Structure 1
Amino acid sequence: MSVNDIRTVSYKNLGWDTAADIYLPPDFDETRQYPAIVSTHPIGSCKEQTAGNVYGAALAQEGFVVIAFDASFQGASGGSPRFIEDPSIRVSDIRFAIDYLVTLPYVDESRIGAIGVCGGGGYTIHAAMTDHRIKAVTSITGVNFGRLIREGFSNFDPVGALEAMGKQRTAEAKGAPRNFINYLPASVDEGRKNGVTDIDVLEATDYYKSDRGQKPNGATSGLFSFNSAAMGWDAFLHAEVLLTQPLMVVIGDKPGAFGAYRDGWEIYGRAASKDKHIVVAEGWSHYDLYDKPEPVALALKSVVPFFKEHL
């Protein structure tokens, strides 16, 4: 079998179903047991994008069973209302993916790892702290969504943003239409016309709003009134005590407003892991690490042997 052998599956979450793709290794044999990896997509993304078609596919080629799932309320997964980005539920999604993996006869439940991209990297780190079924964890240009929403996503006025979110949620509870915000401009040109200069916003737009990375379920949208759940959340809380598994952090050295560079160095410093590594992709940015062949290959050069050693 080739790396393109993908099984689309569905399994129970809290009160809805999760949609996921399982990437299988070459020459897959149902009678064998394989190490497995949960791959978590970025905020506003979906399982068919970087977490699945780039890192999931590459790790499957190296002999791992990889599950890439759509977050609850997003993509092809269930849950209502749509486009909720609640960090606690996103972390719970990772636990449910592990629950599903351990039921598969071809997965070795003692050899499960986790990888996440962007916001998915932050969620993966937090999940590893509270679910030690995860034996090794990798963050690819990981972002602490709690910090980001308290800072840039609230225009550095988190209390003012919370007031607005509360008013909007009250209005919606009384029957007003949902306020779905798009995190990105419609195009790079539109962003520049509106004065956007930040590398992360412009490169995110290039990835998500063009043929380069665009997928039907990569909505880049969020339900504004429910974003308050992220304000008091910290991806790295208690990392000094609870994050003891082997850790690999991959970041680019071109920092942008989403903060992966600073978050990467922070969690590398704070993690209790005795076996921890940071890989800095020199000359590359946050979104280069999503799909550009050279920086992705640079990341995988470290990530693949890391998982092979620990799983």
Structure 2
Amino acid sequence: MTDNIRHVTVKALAWDLAADIHLPPDFDESKTYPAIVSVHPIGSCKEQTAGNVYATALADEGFVAIAFDASFQGASGGEPRSVEDPVFRVQDISYVIDHLVTLPYVDADRIGVIGVCGGGGYSINATMTDRRIKAVGSVTGVNFGGLMHESFSGYDPIGALDAVAEQRTAEARGADRQITQYLPPSPEKAKEQGLTELDLFEATDYYRTTRGEKPGGRTEGLFSRQGSAIGWDAFHRAETLLTRPLCVVIGDKPGAFGAYRDGLEIYRRAASKDKELVVAEGFSHYDLYDQHEPVKIALGHLIPFYHKHLGE
């Protein structure tokens, strides 16, 4: 694995994004390389799976890979903190591409994107409208808007929107901010509370232990800013706009976060003429974050996919 990482700042709407550029081995500043934007999951950060697993592996294969912290999260700017807004998350990808196309060693005509979990949904959505993206990969990708519209709002989106509106008004008048913690504090606490559903428990095992825990991975969201997500759909107009080559990787052990369902749906709906569905048999959503065998399966398809569509 390469340790050749450059820490950079990327200009966003009115603040900077913190990003790590992972460079290929034997990197030569005088050459030009294909580049891939790696988008982190909900509540995650650039040092976790998007960076230390997928961006690192892609850099080792000759790509310039950039992992970044979303606006309002990690080491990136934006206030208030802990906002998970799909509109901003998708725009962030384009801001990162704005940065990439200024780098003399990046070929602006060979830029791809990869996303993990919610980052997969954001990557797909961004590819529909930013034609600078030439190929998109989704690893256990989730349509966060669908989750917020359904189970994360108790299947009562209107009731949830009413509560969000009330809380936002209260905060505008000076009330304390209400932060939603996505996960229990530890796997042990999850068991004590009976929170053993597959995705929820494995998320806790990843984010709340030394396995994946990083300072920037906060796994929390500002409740008063959740309205945008409840009304958003990552796959809207995919039948028309998602024409770029697409590689969807999912595990076949479905959980409550819906990656298995969402992967099958976007594969079916995408207008892409060149699309591939990879099912890692016997593995779950969080296995694809960092476990050797399922990650090997994912990269075994993603690396040739990007070489084919972005070049060597």
Q: TM-score range by the shorter chain?
A: over 0.9
SS in 2 for 1:20: strand
Q: Which residue of 2 aligns with 1:154?
A: 153
Measured after TM superposition, the shift of residue 156 of structure 1 is: 1.5
Q: Which residue of 1 aligns with 2:216?
A: 217
SS in 1 for 2:7: strand
Q: Which residue of 1 aligns with 2:105?
A: 106
Correspondence list, 1:271-310, <5 A: 271-310=270-309
Measured after TM superposition, the shift of residue 188 of structure 1 is: 1.3
CA-based RMSD of the aligned residues comes to 0.7
Q: Distance in 2 between matches of 1:42 and 1:223?
A: 16
Q: Distance in 2 between matches of 1:166 and 1:40?
A: 29
Q: Distance in 1 between matches of 2:8 and 2:96?
A: 11
1:141 aligns with 2:140: yes
Measured after TM superposition, the shift of residue 11 of structure 1 is: 1.9
Measured after TM superposition, the shift of residue 190 of structure 1 is: 1.1
Q: Distance in 1 between matches of 2:72 and 2:172?
A: 18
Q: Distance in 2 between matches of 1:222 and 1:43?
A: 9
Following TM superposition, where does structure 1 have runs of at least 4 consecutive aligned residues deviating by more than 2 angstroms? none
Q: Distance in 1 between matches of 2:37 and 2:308?
A: 17
Question: Any unmatched runs of 5+ in structure 2?
Answer: none
The code of the aligned residue for 2:153 comes to: S
Q: Which residue of 2 aligns with 1:34?
A: 33
Q: Which shifted more, 158-167 or 50-59?
A: 158-167
The code of the aligned residue for 1:153 comes to: F
- 1:230-267 per-residue CA deviation (whole Å, 9 max, x = no partner) reads 11110000000000000000000000000000000000
Measured after TM superposition, the shift of residue 189 of structure 1 is: 1.7
- 1:110-131 per-residue CA deviation (whole Å, 9 max, x = no partner) reads 0000000000000000000000
Q: Distance in 1 between matches of 2:159 and 2:10?
A: 39
Q: Which residue of 2 aligns with 1:12?
A: 11
SS in 1 for 2:282: strand
Normalised by the length of structure 1, the TM-score is: 0.99
SS in 2 for 1:149: helix
Q: Distance in 2 between matches of 1:280 and 1:246?
A: 17
Measured after TM superposition, the shift of residue 162 of structure 1 is: 1.0
The code of the aligned residue for 1:158 comes to: P
The code of the aligned residue for 1:289 comes to: L
Aligned pair count? 310
Q: Which residue of 2 aligns with 1:201?
A: 200
- 1:123-182 per-residue CA deviation (whole Å, 9 max, x = no partner) reads 000000000100000000000000001112112221111111111101000000111111
Q: Which residue of 2 aligns with 1:25?
A: 24
Correspondence list, 1:236-251, <5 A: 236-251=235-250
SS in 1 for 2:155: coil
- 1:263-292 per-residue CA deviation (whole Å, 9 max, x = no partner) reads 000000000000000000000000000000
Measured after TM superposition, the shift of residue 27 of structure 1 is: 0.1
- 1:44-72 per-residue CA deviation (whole Å, 9 max, x = no partner) reads 00000000000000000000000100000
1:170 aligns with 2:161: no
SS in 2 for 1:210: coil
- 1:67-101 per-residue CA deviation (whole Å, 9 max, x = no partner) reads 10000000000000001111010000000000000
The code of the aligned residue for 1:38 comes to: V
Q: Which residue of 1 aligns with 2:68?
A: 69
Q: Distance in 2 between matches of 1:294 and 1:263?
A: 22
SS in 2 for 1:212: coil
Q: Which residue of 1 aligns with 2:255?
A: 256
Question: Any unmatched runs of 5+ in structure 1?
Answer: none
SS in 2 for 1:18: strand
1:226 aligns with 2:236: no
Q: Distance in 2 between matches of 1:177 and 1:289?
A: 37
The code of the aligned residue for 2:224 comes to: S
1:86 aligns with 2:64: no
SS in 1 for 2:67: strand
